Structure 1
Amino acid sequence: MDDKTPQGDADDLETWASRVAAITPDIHTHGNLTERSIASLLRMVREQLDLEVVFVGEFVDDHRVFRHISSKTIDAIIKPGQGHPRIESICQRIVDGRMPCVIPDVTPIRTTNGLPAYYHGMGAHVGVPVRFTDGRLYGVLCGFSFEPRADLDERDVKRLEMAAKAAARLLAQAEGRA
């Protein structure tokens, strides 16, 4: 993981932004190229933040549906196309401001926040909304680990926000919105 010294913050975020920009070319992308670009983006986020799983979830009606996933293991615990009711998700609670973008340890707050059993055993969770340039909400970019992570902070949220903007550009290009 990157050095989190105050002096390194600006350079670190600048380097992060240039890496994200390299993944999101200004050319119109289609199909597999878009999928590969989003996969590269998620892999970079997962590796840089040292998380087990990073995903882009789309809000479809009353559900959060996993669309793109990067996992440390081949058998990810979540799969593309799976979903849960939005109202049950940490993701929805982040979007509407009921929970912070960084949760260092989900397990001790799970029952007090009415989170479903599938959050049992989760360590850290970090997430941000994914919005198109017109302001429309697509869903979320989130990641989690199985161990608590007190080291995740606002700088990591800024990283995720940059990555969420890049993901939104890629998704918009795939939809022909760009």
Structure 2
Amino acid sequence: MTVENTQNARDFKNFDEAAAYILQLLSKQIGINSLFIAKNDSQINQIVKVHNANKELVKEGSSMPLSQSFCSLSINHGPTALVIEDVSENELTRSMKIAANYRHGTFVGVPVYYNDGAIYGTICGLDDQYYGLTKEQLSTFEMMSTLLTYVLELEKANEQIQTLTAPIVPVTKGVAIVPVIGEITAPRAQVIIDHVLEKCSKEPMEYLIIDVSGVLQINSVVGEYLLKLVNILKVIGVTPVITGIQPFMALKVPHFADALKDVLIEANLESALKQLGFVLIKECKEKSDPL
């Protein structure tokens, strides 16, 4: 792998990009027509990424019942590569309806796991004619499966980190604060939205204060995500309150404040809490020295 390719490999933004790169890399070493990664939930098998060489034998985005797919056989086979040299003759596949689409073709598949052993799906190769696979090529399939596991876990860890940088802090029953800190990118904004909606679906919420005083920069894309969050909260019956909007935000995204004209906006958390009926009391007890 060249230095340039190595650098590209480090620049993946998400699992989809890494999956596409892995299939391209695999296609350079293995000449089987179609390479694909499928995800399943124990019921449905969905093709998430595909690399077709000469013919479109597998369509990206397609799905079918897991039990009717070749991928189910790979999962049942276990962590090592399952090779079916002729899907029309092999006892595992000849009675399957899908086998008729690939004549005397070859299938190879390896499960993709999470670190805890749960199944994500499979990484597979498929052709509509016989394709012989060497031990080295099968070992490569298994190695790519392991690599996908690392990518999945990295993405999961990144999502958890992004969520932790915008925690939901309960104030009292039905009222919480989301302090958003640091640089907001579109992917991170979507993670925050998903996290907030998940929490709101589990716990009754009347007011959610979104504090953006710690945001380093904002652009039109990020502004749209924040507006999206505000609108979604309204739809599900949660009243959004925005605090900490800085002057540079209004300058960079002129329509931002106008779009929030029906939303309660306060300069800081203290004033927002007062508007919601909370009184912050500071007690100071002085103890005089005994005579």
Match of 1:159 among 128, 140, 148: 140
Where do residues 51-66 of structure 1 align in structure 2 (5 Å cutoff)?
51-66=32-47
Q: In structure 2, how many angstroms separate the alpha carbons of the residues matched to 1:24 and 1:166?
A: 17
1:135 equivalent in alignment to 2:117: yes
- Give, in angstroms, the shift of residue 88 of structure 1: 1.2
Question: Paired residue for 1:85?
Answer: 65
Once the two structures are superposed, residues 1-46 of structure 1 have per-residue CA deviations (whole angstroms, 9 ceiling, x without a partner) of: xxxxxxxxxxxxxxxxx79xx7699969534xx4333212101212
Question: Paired residue for 2:76?
Answer: 96
Tell me: CA distance 1:60–1:177, structure 2 relative to 1, closer, same or farther (3 Å): farther
Tell me: CA distance 1:122–1:70, structure 2 relative to 1, closer, same or farther (3 Å): farther
Range with greater deviation from structure 2 (109-118 or 56-65): 109-118
SS of residue in 2 equivalent to 1:42: helix
Q: In structure 1, how many angstroms separate the alpha carbons of the residues matched to 2:114 and 2:75?
A: 14
Q: In structure 2, how many angstroms separate the alpha carbons of the residues matched to 1:36 and 1:119?
A: 32
Question: Paired residue for 2:13?
Answer: 30
Q: In structure 2, how many angstroms separate the alpha carbons of the residues matched to 1:160 and 1:144?
A: 13
Q: TM-score, normalised by structure 1?
A: 0.71
Q: TM-score, normalised by structure 2?
A: 0.46
Question: Paired residue for 2:195?
Answer: none
SS of residue in 1 equivalent to 2:58: coil
Tell me: CA distance 1:77–1:24, structure 2 relative to 1, closer, same or farther (3 Å): farther
2:68 touches 2:97 (CA, 8 Å); kept in 1?
Answer: yes
Question: Paired residue for 2:24?
Answer: 43
Count matched residues.
154
SS of residue in 2 equivalent to 1:80: coil
Once the two structures are superposed, residues 88-127 of structure 1 have per-residue CA deviations (whole angstroms, 9 ceiling, x without a partner) of: 12211121129x7111121223786421145432511111
Q: In structure 2, how many angstroms separate the alpha carbons of the residues matched to 1:66 and 1:103?
A: 19
**Relative contact order (alpha carbons < 8 A, sep ≥ 6): 1 or 2 greater?**
1
- Give, in angstroms, the shift of residue 64 of structure 1: 0.8
Q: In structure 1, how many angstroms separate the alpha carbons of the residues matched to 2:6 and 2:113?
A: 18
Q: What is the identity, as a one-letter code, of the residue corresponding to 1:115?
A: M
Name structure 2 gaps, 5 residues minimum: 160-291
SS of residue in 2 equivalent to 1:146: coil
Q: In structure 1, how many angstroms separate the alpha carbons of the residues matched to 2:45 and 2:138?
A: 20
Q: In structure 1, how many angstroms separate the alpha carbons of the residues matched to 2:121 and 2:147?
A: 13
Once the two structures are superposed, residues 112-169 of structure 1 have per-residue CA deviations (whole angstroms, 9 ceiling, x without a partner) of: 64211454325111110001122111010001122112x3144322111100111222
Question: Paired residue for 1:116?
Answer: 97
Identical pairs, percent: 19
1:144 equivalent in alignment to 2:144: no
Q: In structure 2, how many angstroms separate the alpha carbons of the residues matched to 1:23 and 1:60?
A: 32
Q: In structure 1, how many angstroms separate the alpha carbons of the residues matched to 2:8 and 2:88?
A: 39
1:24 touches 1:169 (CA, 8 Å); kept in 2?
Answer: no
Q: Which has the larger radius of gyration?
A: 2
SS of residue in 2 equivalent to 1:109: coil
Name structure 1 gaps, 5 residues minimum: 1-17
